[in-house]
Amino acid sequence: MPEARRALVLTAHGTASPAGRQVVLDLVAAVQQALQQRASVLVTDAYVDVQTPEVADVVADLVTRVDDVVVVPLLFCGGYHVRVDVARAVEPFASAHSTGALGPSPLIADALAMRLREAGVTQDEAVVLAAAGSSRVEATTDARTQARMLAEVWGADVDVAFGSAATPSVPDAVNALRERPGRRVAIASLLLGEGHFHDKLIASGADVVTAPLGTATQVVEQILTRFDGVG
Protein backbone atom coordinates (compact mmCIF):
# COMPACT_ATOMS: atom_id res chain seq x y z
CA MET A 1 0.00 0.00 0.00
CA PRO A 2 1.37 3.47 -0.83
CA GLU A 3 2.54 5.59 2.06
CA ALA A 4 -0.28 7.77 3.37
CA ARG A 5 -0.16 11.40 2.24
CA ARG A 6 -3.37 12.52 3.95
CA ALA A 7 -5.05 11.56 7.22
CA LEU A 8 -8.73 11.62 8.11
CA VAL A 9 -9.33 11.67 11.86
CA LEU A 10 -12.85 10.67 12.86
CA THR A 11 -13.30 12.32 16.23
CA ALA A 12 -16.08 11.13 18.51
CA HIS A 13 -17.19 12.31 21.93
CA GLY A 14 -16.21 9.05 23.63
CA THR A 15 -18.30 6.69 25.73
CA ALA A 16 -18.00 3.96 28.33
CA SER A 17 -20.48 1.83 26.36
CA PRO A 18 -18.80 -1.06 24.53
CA ALA A 19 -21.46 -0.91 21.83
CA GLY A 20 -20.98 2.84 21.45
CA ARG A 21 -17.22 2.40 21.17
CA GLN A 22 -17.65 -0.26 18.51
CA VAL A 23 -19.75 2.07 16.37
CA VAL A 24 -16.80 4.44 15.98
CA LEU A 25 -14.49 1.60 14.97
CA ASP A 26 -17.10 0.35 12.52
CA LEU A 27 -17.35 3.85 11.03
CA VAL A 28 -13.57 3.97 10.60
CA ALA A 29 -13.76 0.67 8.72
CA ALA A 30 -16.71 1.87 6.59
CA VAL A 31 -14.95 5.09 5.64
CA GLN A 32 -11.75 3.19 4.86
CA GLN A 33 -13.78 0.96 2.55
CA ALA A 34 -15.37 3.97 0.86
CA LEU A 35 -11.94 5.54 0.31
CA GLN A 36 -10.19 2.41 -0.92
CA GLN A 37 -10.07 3.69 -4.50
CA ARG A 38 -8.31 6.87 -3.42
CA ALA A 39 -4.56 6.87 -3.06
CA SER A 40 -2.96 6.98 0.35
CA VAL A 41 -5.55 8.23 2.84
CA LEU A 42 -5.07 7.07 6.43
CA VAL A 43 -8.31 6.87 8.45
CA THR A 44 -8.16 6.72 12.23
CA ASP A 45 -10.19 7.51 15.35
CA ALA A 46 -9.80 10.04 18.16
CA TYR A 47 -11.90 11.38 21.03
CA VAL A 48 -12.66 14.58 22.94
CA ASP A 49 -13.79 13.00 26.23
CA VAL A 50 -14.00 9.71 28.16
CA GLN A 51 -11.77 7.73 25.77
CA THR A 52 -8.26 7.91 24.38
CA PRO A 53 -6.44 8.71 22.18
CA GLU A 54 -7.31 12.37 22.53
CA VAL A 55 -7.72 14.28 19.31
CA ALA A 56 -4.92 16.74 20.11
CA ASP A 57 -2.43 13.88 20.59
CA VAL A 58 -3.51 12.16 17.37
CA VAL A 59 -3.19 15.34 15.32
CA ALA A 60 0.21 16.22 16.80
CA ASP A 61 1.51 12.77 15.84
CA LEU A 62 0.02 12.68 12.34
CA VAL A 63 1.30 16.07 11.21
CA THR A 64 4.82 14.64 11.47
CA ARG A 65 3.94 11.73 9.16
CA VAL A 66 1.55 12.99 6.49
CA ASP A 67 1.13 16.10 4.35
CA ASP A 68 -2.39 16.96 5.43
CA VAL A 69 -4.60 16.10 8.43
CA VAL A 70 -8.36 16.59 8.35
CA VAL A 71 -10.40 16.16 11.53
CA VAL A 72 -14.08 15.35 11.03
CA PRO A 73 -16.06 15.53 14.30
CA LEU A 74 -18.54 12.66 14.67
CA LEU A 75 -20.94 15.09 16.31
CA PHE A 76 -24.19 16.34 14.82
CA CYS A 77 -24.23 19.88 16.23
CA GLY A 78 -21.49 22.48 16.48
CA GLY A 79 -21.11 22.82 20.24
CA TYR A 80 -18.13 23.21 22.56
CA HIS A 81 -16.32 20.06 21.49
CA VAL A 82 -16.35 21.09 17.82
CA ARG A 83 -15.67 24.79 18.28
CA VAL A 84 -13.15 24.53 21.12
CA ASP A 85 -11.65 21.04 21.64
CA VAL A 86 -11.26 20.13 17.98
CA ALA A 87 -10.36 23.68 16.96
CA ARG A 88 -7.57 23.79 19.55
CA ALA A 89 -6.21 20.44 18.37
CA VAL A 90 -5.59 21.67 14.81
CA GLU A 91 -4.80 25.35 15.49
CA PRO A 92 -1.03 24.95 16.07
CA PHE A 93 -0.42 23.19 12.74
CA ALA A 94 -0.65 24.71 9.28
CA SER A 95 -1.20 21.27 7.75
CA ALA A 96 -4.10 20.33 10.06
CA HIS A 97 -7.70 21.34 9.48
CA SER A 98 -11.07 20.65 11.05
CA THR A 99 -14.49 20.53 9.48
CA GLY A 100 -17.82 21.46 10.93
CA ALA A 101 -20.09 19.01 12.71
CA LEU A 102 -21.86 16.36 10.66
CA GLY A 103 -25.10 18.32 10.82
CA PRO A 104 -27.32 19.99 10.07
CA SER A 105 -27.50 18.19 6.73
CA PRO A 106 -30.07 16.78 4.30
CA LEU A 107 -28.16 13.49 4.40
CA ILE A 108 -28.58 13.29 8.17
CA ALA A 109 -32.27 14.12 7.76
CA ASP A 110 -32.56 11.18 5.34
CA ALA A 111 -30.87 8.89 7.87
CA LEU A 112 -33.21 10.03 10.66
CA ALA A 113 -36.26 9.41 8.48
CA MET A 114 -34.92 5.97 7.61
CA ARG A 115 -34.57 5.11 11.31
CA LEU A 116 -38.15 6.30 11.96
CA ARG A 117 -39.46 4.06 9.20
CA GLU A 118 -37.41 1.13 10.51
CA ALA A 119 -39.03 1.65 13.93
CA GLY A 120 -42.52 1.54 12.43
CA VAL A 121 -43.31 5.21 13.05
CA THR A 122 -45.94 6.84 10.83
CA GLN A 123 -46.55 10.44 9.84
CA ASP A 124 -49.65 10.77 12.06
CA GLU A 125 -47.59 10.07 15.18
CA ALA A 126 -45.74 12.71 17.18
CA VAL A 127 -41.99 12.90 16.57
CA VAL A 128 -39.33 14.57 18.71
CA LEU A 129 -35.81 15.01 17.39
CA ALA A 130 -33.56 14.42 20.41
CA ALA A 131 -30.10 15.99 20.39
CA ALA A 132 -27.45 15.51 23.06
CA GLY A 133 -27.63 19.18 24.02
CA SER A 134 -25.11 21.95 24.59
CA SER A 135 -24.92 25.25 26.43
CA ARG A 136 -23.72 26.91 23.21
CA VAL A 137 -26.40 28.63 21.18
CA GLU A 138 -24.80 27.49 17.91
CA ALA A 139 -25.43 23.85 18.80
CA THR A 140 -29.04 24.52 19.73
CA THR A 141 -29.54 26.36 16.44
CA ASP A 142 -28.03 23.43 14.54
CA ALA A 143 -30.42 20.99 16.23
CA ARG A 144 -33.44 23.13 15.39
CA THR A 145 -32.29 23.40 11.78
CA GLN A 146 -31.85 19.63 11.61
CA ALA A 147 -35.38 19.18 12.97
CA ARG A 148 -36.76 21.41 10.20
CA MET A 149 -34.84 19.40 7.60
CA LEU A 150 -36.23 16.16 9.03
CA ALA A 151 -39.76 17.58 8.96
CA GLU A 152 -39.39 18.36 5.25
CA VAL A 153 -38.24 14.82 4.50
CA TRP A 154 -40.71 13.18 6.88
CA GLY A 155 -43.68 15.17 5.67
CA ALA A 156 -44.96 16.03 9.15
CA ASP A 157 -44.09 18.27 12.08
CA VAL A 158 -41.03 17.43 14.16
CA ASP A 159 -40.37 18.92 17.59
CA VAL A 160 -36.88 19.21 19.05
CA ALA A 161 -35.57 18.47 22.55
CA PHE A 162 -32.26 18.03 24.32
CA GLY A 163 -30.59 15.49 26.57
CA SER A 164 -28.79 18.16 28.60
CA ALA A 165 -27.96 21.85 28.92
CA ALA A 166 -30.69 23.22 26.61
CA THR A 167 -34.47 23.24 26.81
CA PRO A 168 -36.91 21.66 26.43
CA SER A 169 -35.65 18.43 27.93
CA VAL A 170 -36.62 15.23 26.17
CA PRO A 171 -39.04 14.06 28.93
CA ASP A 172 -40.72 17.49 28.94
CA ALA A 173 -41.15 17.43 25.16
CA VAL A 174 -42.56 13.90 25.28
CA ASN A 175 -45.06 14.82 28.00
CA ALA A 176 -46.17 17.93 26.10
CA LEU A 177 -47.05 15.81 23.06
CA ARG A 178 -49.37 13.41 24.92
CA GLU A 179 -52.38 15.61 24.27
CA ARG A 180 -54.08 13.26 21.80
CA PRO A 181 -55.31 9.98 23.34
CA GLY A 182 -53.91 6.95 21.60
CA ARG A 183 -51.26 8.92 19.75
CA ARG A 184 -47.79 7.46 20.12
CA VAL A 185 -44.78 9.69 20.72
CA ALA A 186 -41.56 8.73 18.95
CA ILE A 187 -38.04 9.99 19.50
CA ALA A 188 -35.74 10.36 16.52
CA SER A 189 -32.32 9.89 18.08
CA LEU A 190 -29.74 12.37 16.80
CA LEU A 191 -26.95 10.31 18.30
CA LEU A 192 -24.14 8.26 16.82
CA GLY A 193 -24.29 5.24 19.11
CA GLU A 194 -25.40 3.77 22.40
CA GLY A 195 -24.23 5.24 25.67
CA HIS A 196 -25.27 7.67 28.40
CA PHE A 197 -27.47 9.92 26.26
CA HIS A 198 -29.18 7.08 24.45
CA ASP A 199 -29.99 5.48 27.83
CA LYS A 200 -31.65 8.78 28.82
CA LEU A 201 -33.82 8.64 25.70
CA ILE A 202 -34.95 5.11 26.54
CA ALA A 203 -35.98 6.34 30.00
CA SER A 204 -37.78 9.45 28.73
CA GLY A 205 -41.26 7.93 28.53
CA ALA A 206 -41.55 7.88 24.73
CA ASP A 207 -43.37 5.00 23.06
CA VAL A 208 -40.65 4.55 20.44
CA VAL A 209 -36.97 5.48 20.42
CA THR A 210 -35.16 5.01 17.13
CA ALA A 211 -31.78 3.35 16.92
CA PRO A 212 -28.77 5.69 16.85
CA LEU A 213 -27.56 6.66 13.38
CA GLY A 214 -24.38 4.58 13.67
CA THR A 215 -22.91 3.47 10.36
CA ALA A 216 -25.89 4.43 8.23
CA THR A 217 -24.89 4.97 4.61
CA GLN A 218 -25.88 8.62 4.87
CA VAL A 219 -23.53 9.15 7.82
CA VAL A 220 -20.61 7.72 5.83
CA GLU A 221 -21.56 9.93 2.87
CA GLN A 222 -21.70 13.00 5.11
CA ILE A 223 -18.25 12.23 6.54
CA LEU A 224 -16.86 12.06 3.01
CA THR A 225 -18.64 15.30 2.11
CA ARG A 226 -16.96 17.05 5.03
CA PHE A 227 -13.58 15.52 4.16
CA ASP A 228 -13.82 16.49 0.50
CA GLY A 229 -14.77 20.04 1.45
CA VAL A 230 -11.32 20.70 2.93
CA GLY A 231 -8.33 21.60 0.84
Q: Looking at residue 154, which CATH number applies to its domain?
A: 3.40.50.1400
Q: Which of 79-83, 143-147, 216-220 has the lowest mean pLDDT?
A: 79-83
50 located within any domain: yes
The total number of structural domains in the chain stands at 2
Across residues 114-120, what is the average pLDDT?
A: 98
Residues 16-73 pLDDT 10s:
999 999 999 999 999 999 998 776 899 999 999 999 999 999 999 999 999 999 999 9
Same domain, 131 and 196: yes
Same domain, 60 and 85: yes
Cβ atoms of 173 and 128 within 8 Å: the answer is yes
195 located within any domain: yes
Same domain, 86 and 24: yes
Same domain, 70 and 82: yes
Cβ atoms of 191 and 77 within 8 Å: the answer is no
Same domain, 10 and 88: yes
Confidence of residue 3 (pLDDT cuts 50, 70, 90): low
1 located within any domain: no
Same domain, 96 and 112: no
Residue 125 confidence (pLDDT) above 70: yes
Across residues 120-147, what is the average pLDDT?
A: 95
State the pLDDT at residue 230: 87
Residue 146 confidence (pLDDT) above 90: yes
Same domain, 116 and 191: yes
Which residues, 6 or more positions from 25, have their beta carbon under 8 angstroms from its beta carbon?
A: 45
Residues 164-192 pLDDT 10s:
989 999 999 999 998 777 789 999 999 99
State the pLDDT at residue 2: 54
State pTM to two decimals. Answer: 0.95
Residue 185: which domain range? 106-209
Same domain, 182 and 141: yes
Same domain, 94 and 172: no
Same domain, 150 and 57: no
State the pLDDT at residue 155: 98
Packing angle between helix 106-118 and helix 217-228, nearest 10 degrees? 170
Residue 6 to residues 34, 38, 66, 100, Cα–Cα distance (Å): 15, 11, 6, 18
State the pLDDT at residue 1: 45
Residues 70-116 pLDDT 10s:
999 999 999 889 999 999 999 999 999 999 999 999 999 999 999 99
Confidence of residue 231 (pLDDT cuts 50, 70, 90): low
Cβ atoms of 102 and 223 within 8 Å: the answer is yes
Across residues 127-133, what is the average pLDDT?
A: 96
